[in-house]
Amino acid sequence: MHPSPTRRWLGALLLALAGLMPARASAQQTTYTIIGTVVDAATRSPIADATVQLRTGAQGSVPRTVTDAAGRYTLRAPLAAGTYTIEATQLGRSAATRQITLGASAAVQVEPLLLSSGVLQLEEVVVTGTGAPVERREVGNTVSSVSGEEIARAPAATSIDQALQGRIAGAQISESSGQPGGGVSIRLRGTNTILGNAEPLIVIDGVIVDNNNEALIGLGANATRSNTALTNRLSDIPPDDIERVEVLKGAAAAALYGSRANSGVIQIFTRRGRSGTPQIRFSTEMQASRTPGFLDLNMEPLIGPADVAADASLRPRLGQPVERYDIQDRIFQTGYGTSNQLSVSGGTTTGTSYYLSGNWNEEDGIVRSTGYRRYGGRARVSQRLSNWLEVGVNGSYLRTRTNLVPEGEQTQGILTSVVFTPTYFNPAAIDSVYGRYAYSPVIGTNVLDVIENWKAQNSVTRFLGNVQATATPLRNLTLTYLAGVDDGREEAAYLQPFRATSVAFTGSLQAPVRSVRRFNNDFTAALVSPLRPGVELNSVAGFRYTDDRTNTIRAGASSLLPGATLANGPVQTASQTLVQLRTMGGYIQERLSLADRLFLTAGVNMEASSAFGADQRWQAFPRVSASYVVDEQPGFSEGLLGSVFSGLRLRAAYGQTGGQPPSEYLNQVTYTNVAYGGLSGLRPPTLAPSPDLKPERQREYEFGADASFLGDRLAAELTYYDKRTSDLVLSVPLATTSGFATQFRNVGELTNRGVEASFSSANVQRENFRWNTRLLLAHNRNRIERLNQRSDTITFEYLNAVVEGQPLGVFLGRVYPRDANGNIIYSAAGTPVGARDTVFNASGGVQSVSIRRRVLGDPNPDLTASLSNNFTIRGVEVGVLFDGRFGNDVANFTRRSADYFGSSPNAGVEARGDTIVGTFVRNNERNLLYEEFIEDGSFVKLREISLGFRFDQPWVRRFGASDMGLRVAARNLYTWTDYSGIDPEVNVFAASTVARGVDFSTTPIPRTLVVGLDFNF
């Protein structure tokens, strides 16, 4: 019997690894204990969470450690006597080094390491998907990092993705709705798929986690839309538990994550304990949120055509006085909230470390009856069992409950009801017959009834954890095993009570439940092989297995009794779907270090997925990169380059990743259950199976340079990337003789090309005054290169389209007819009409008339930018962050509906007789003229502003605390924009892949004021 290809591949991998393994060092070694502190260079205050490591040159490196809250560190390692370099690093600071000599004494005390503010952190340690940490200067691709301190400082950010806004070049992070509990979409270097999920892969402490955006119930967009949930699961993770976040934006960085990484990877690392006395920290925040604006409504005190169109009985009163009602003050409220975190961390000298935390968050939304609650706890414990083996366990449990309201496409939506209903109607009026709020004359639903009596709730119970073992059987060999699980249950309930929408409505309740379990199993071996002086080989090999299971049960009932809140009505429905996805693969990577300044990396990931066709099951994803630290070249500082640059690095990378198909079972025949003659049956599908289906493959080239000037006080990081995603999965029509109607095939292609730039400066660095600035710029150009046929145009939702030669999701729709000078041509009655193209036959007769459509705009920005300034003035910390987008368009469907149904000020223009009746109200032609509603959506937001101060006076210590922090901050305080709506950032289709930039009665993102305290004990 011949061994399988998989076994042959793994065998060859183990042999190669064994061949690279060096013999045990023969020199006599002593286990040294190295003790010291890391402090701020200017203030001499201790620095917590700084990474300390020992550089040992050609002899490899010893394990790293991290400083505790007092800035202390203890490093233990078996070493030969000699001279070594100890180094301390931290995000946002320049590295500090000191030479130490190890001799007869096993205990070594090191002078304090002084860290100063830095703008180019090439010594920072990052992880690039291999499980093996490496210094940033050694990798040839960009890895953006954000410290946990920055994330925790982000005011009123209830989720990690909110806290990342404006902090990562090339990341477009949007809050799609102002309802509490999430609703954030992330795009890294553009969108790389058409039918797949464009959100990045999320990895927390090595665990691939669920970040599902599929709506269990349609509360914003209709339920049939994909990726349109008003909340997202990343909001379940409390920001205060985060130690740092690393973002792998392209295939060159994320290749080792294989077929899940086409949209990039966000790696989140949570806090851990440090050796030393127990450190107790408590933080609390109180916040108040308000809407940034209100809808402009028709307050003209005359009965107009809009009112008559809604209620024909008003026709005799046309032009007569009427009272108008604006009840937005009964819809919006000041939403108060509190966020609290308590943590205990520490460790022993015998190798035990622990981190325990609990958090509770309560937040009322800016729309009445909405709110968000989160309660949870985390425990992380590790134990060194010997000088070569360490084990750890990390787990968190949480529960969230979100109270939402319908909006957007839902005709029962809160703002939708306001937009659809003329303002002569008083929603606060009581119907004397039925003893309830009066029904809207247009849609029936009363907005106040929805707020007070309807129920739209989403509850999540979730456990996230892992177990890990790290062994160093040889000084240069590290073996790591990790098993992780993300197990969650999401329950939704949407109750429309008895007589909610009309007298005849008997009530309905939807109560779906989705259970998601994601399991991953990872083994990694990292080997450092000194080949000769100045030449070192770092080898990493690994194996990964993942198993995802999603079980969705949908229950519902109608014809409910008055007051009923359970799905037990006489008309009941139920269904169930079960989806599973498994992947398995291995990877190997080699990094060659030459003279500690030139680093060459090559690797490949071999992966199989159950979603691929049988003949395409195994796929290879290679990567190569180079990094050249020019300033380490001998004589650099004395040469011409040294006179200009204080630091300089050149880098280049190439990589490939894959994307999973839009459905897990496209490679199989799936049947539909039907009832026939009272018996169960199966109906064959019209969708043909795709046995040759393979991943959507992305290849990326990346080139860049990192430079610092003026003694590392000014730094610039520049990157150019070229991404091409081929084998896009699209639906292709089939001949009817095949027995099927369509089939999914790998036929499409798109590109993303762009430039990212980061400029950082330490403007002033004095003991009593510091000022740091950072400017991030990114430009991305997306283009559809190929569809199934050149003439294909795929339209998503209303007007977002996929067209060859255009960016993904451009607005496509009807246009005005215009004369030779570009002036709009109106109908004979003087009202707007859509342009039409007429084709005449040979005899001069009309052969056909078609609606004229063209590309109207692009929701993708030409430029994203952010500017942050941080000041420290005699201990007072001030931070300001501006976040902006430029060159993007927004489809203002709120204005479209308000004009059509007569709730906008334009209805008042018609009521006064200042324009032709039918110009705005109930004009079906204008309502479909999407050209009219495309607006410039460029904006700059004052995303964050904060003022903080720390107290360590004796009166603080009377409470048992070592110090206390006080902070006042605000989020989304002001927006500069020409957009006529309330908020240009929102999107009714949430995290939809293609449908972007549509504002349709969506809750605006609130302005939030925060006051916070934190204590260290």
- Against a cut of 0.85, is the pTM above it? yes
Q: Are residues 74 and 169 in the same domain?
A: no
Q: Average of pLDDT values for 330-351? A: 94
Q: Are residues 235 and 341 in the same domain?
A: yes
Residue 691 lies in a domain: yes
Percent of the chain whose pLDDT exceeds 90: 66
Q: Average of pLDDT values for 32-42? A: 83
Q: Average of pLDDT values for 957-982? A: 93
Residue 224: its pLDDT value, please? 65
Q: What is the pLDDT of residues 799-821, one digit of tens each?
A: 999 999 999 999 999 999 999 99
Q: Average of pLDDT values for 388-396? A: 95
Residue 173: its pLDDT value, please? 95
Bridge-based pairing state of the strands 863-873 and 876-886: antiparallel
Residue 247 lies in a domain: yes
Residue 544: its pLDDT value, please? 94
State the total domains in the chain. 2
Range of the domain at 594: 149-293+332-405+454-790+860-888+937-1016
Q: Average of pLDDT values for 817-846? A: 87
Q: Are residues 546 and 504 in the same domain?
A: yes
Q: Are residues 465 and 392 in the same domain?
A: yes
Q: What is the DSSP string of 176-233?
A: ---SSS--EEEEESS---SSS--SPEEEETTEE-------SS-SSS-TTSSS--SS-G
Bridge-based pairing state of the strands 265-270 and 201-204: parallel
Band (pLDDT 50/70/90 cuts) for residue 383 is very high
* β-sheet bridge partners, residue 90: none
Strand residues in 387-476 grouped as ranges (E): 389-403, 430-431, 436-437, 455-474
Q: Average of pLDDT values for 1010-1014? A: 95
- Of 18-27, 215-224, 483-492, which gets the smallest average pLDDT? 18-27
- Of 203-207, 569-573, 600-604, 921-925, which gets the smallest average pLDDT? 569-573
- Contact call for residues 331 and 367 (beta carbons, < 8 A): yes
Q: Are residues 43 and 180 in the same domain?
A: no
Band (pLDDT 50/70/90 cuts) for residue 590 is very high
Band (pLDDT 50/70/90 cuts) for residue 993 is very high
CA–CA distance, 592 with 340 (Å, rounded to integer): 47
CATH number for 63: 2.60.40.1120
The structure tokens 């740091």 sit at 772
User: Which range, 37-46, 627-636, 947-956, has the best average confidence (pLDDT)?
Assistant: 627-636
Q: Average of pLDDT values for 861-887? A: 95
Q: Average of pLDDT values for 870-878? A: 92
Examine the pLDDT at 421 and tell me if it is beyond 50.
Answer: yes
* Number of neighbours of residue 256 by Cβ within 10 angstroms: 27
Q: What is the pLDDT of residues 126-153, one digit of tens each?
A: 766 555 678 888 999 988 999 888 998 8
Strand (E) or helix (H) holding 252: helix 251-254
Token pair listed for 294: 């209100």
Residue 17: its pLDDT value, please? 42
What average pLDDT is seen over the chain?
Answer: 89
- Of 226-230, 454-458, 741-745, which gets the smallest average pLDDT? 226-230
Examine the pLDDT at 880 and tell me if it is beyond 70.
Answer: yes
DSSP single-letter state for residue 667: T
Band (pLDDT 50/70/90 cuts) for residue 91 is low
CA–CA distance, 414 with 401 (Å, rounded to integer): 20
Residue 792: its pLDDT value, please? 87
Strand (E) or helix (H) holding 89: strand 82-89
Residue 6: its pLDDT value, please? 45
Q: Are residues 82 and 154 in the same domain?
A: no
Residue 883 lies in a domain: yes
- Of 208-212, 244-248, 917-921, 923-927, which gets the smallest average pLDDT? 208-212
Q: Average of pLDDT values for 715-732? A: 96
Band (pLDDT 50/70/90 cuts) for residue 13 is very low
Residue 932: its pLDDT value, please? 96
Residue 7: its pLDDT value, please? 44
Q: Average of pLDDT values for 398-410? A: 93
CA–CA distance, 378 with 750 (Å, rounded to integer): 42
Q: Are residues 515 and 647 in the same domain?
A: yes
Residue 813 lies in a domain: no
Examine the pLDDT at 11 and tell me if it is beyond 50.
Answer: no
Band (pLDDT 50/70/90 cuts) for residue 121 is low
Examine the pLDDT at 57 and tell me if it is beyond 60.
Answer: no
Q: Are residues 92 and 163 in the same domain?
A: no
Residue 954 lies in a domain: yes
Residue 565 lies in a domain: yes
Residue 316 lies in a domain: no
Bridge-based pairing state of the strands 508-510 and 335-347: unpaired
Examine the pLDDT at 10 and tell me if it is beyond 80.
Answer: no
Token pair listed for 629: 């630290």
Strand (E) or helix (H) holding 655: strand 647-659
Residue 97: its pLDDT value, please? 82
CATH number for 463: 2.40.170.20
* β-sheet bridge partners, residue 975: 941
Q: Are residues 495 and 572 in the same domain?
A: yes
Residue 23: its pLDDT value, please? 41
Residue 696: its pLDDT value, please? 95
Residue 975 lies in a domain: yes
Q: Are residues 49 and 186 in the same domain?
A: no
- Of 90-94, 430-434, 650-654, which gets the smallest average pLDDT? 90-94
CA–CA distance, 945 with 237 (Å, rounded to integer): 23
Q: Are residues 253 and 187 in the same domain?
A: yes
Residue 628: its pLDDT value, please? 96
Among residues 277, 302, 180, 274, the alpha carbon closest in space to that of 230 is found at 180
Residue 276: its pLDDT value, please? 80
Q: Average of pLDDT values for 914-925? A: 95
Band (pLDDT 50/70/90 cuts) for residue 167 is very high
Examine the pLDDT at 64 and tell me if it is beyond 80.
Answer: no
Strand residues in 452-597 grouped as ranges (E): 455-474, 477-496, 508-510, 513-532, 535-558, 571-594
Q: Give the phi and the psi of residue 152 in degrees, each rounded to 5.
A: -65, -25
Q: Are residues 616 and 730 in the same domain?
A: yes
Helix axes 893-901, 905-912, angle to 10 degrees: 30
Assign residue 442 a region (left: φ > 0; alpha: ψ between -120 and 50; beta: otherwise). alpha
Examine the pLDDT at 305 and tell me if it is beyond 60.
Answer: yes
Q: Average of pLDDT values for 528-543? A: 92
Q: Specify the 3-state DSSP secondary structure of 150.
A: helix
CA–CA distance, 759 with 714 (Å, rounded to integer): 7
Residue 209: its pLDDT value, please? 92
Q: Average of pLDDT values for 94-102? A: 82
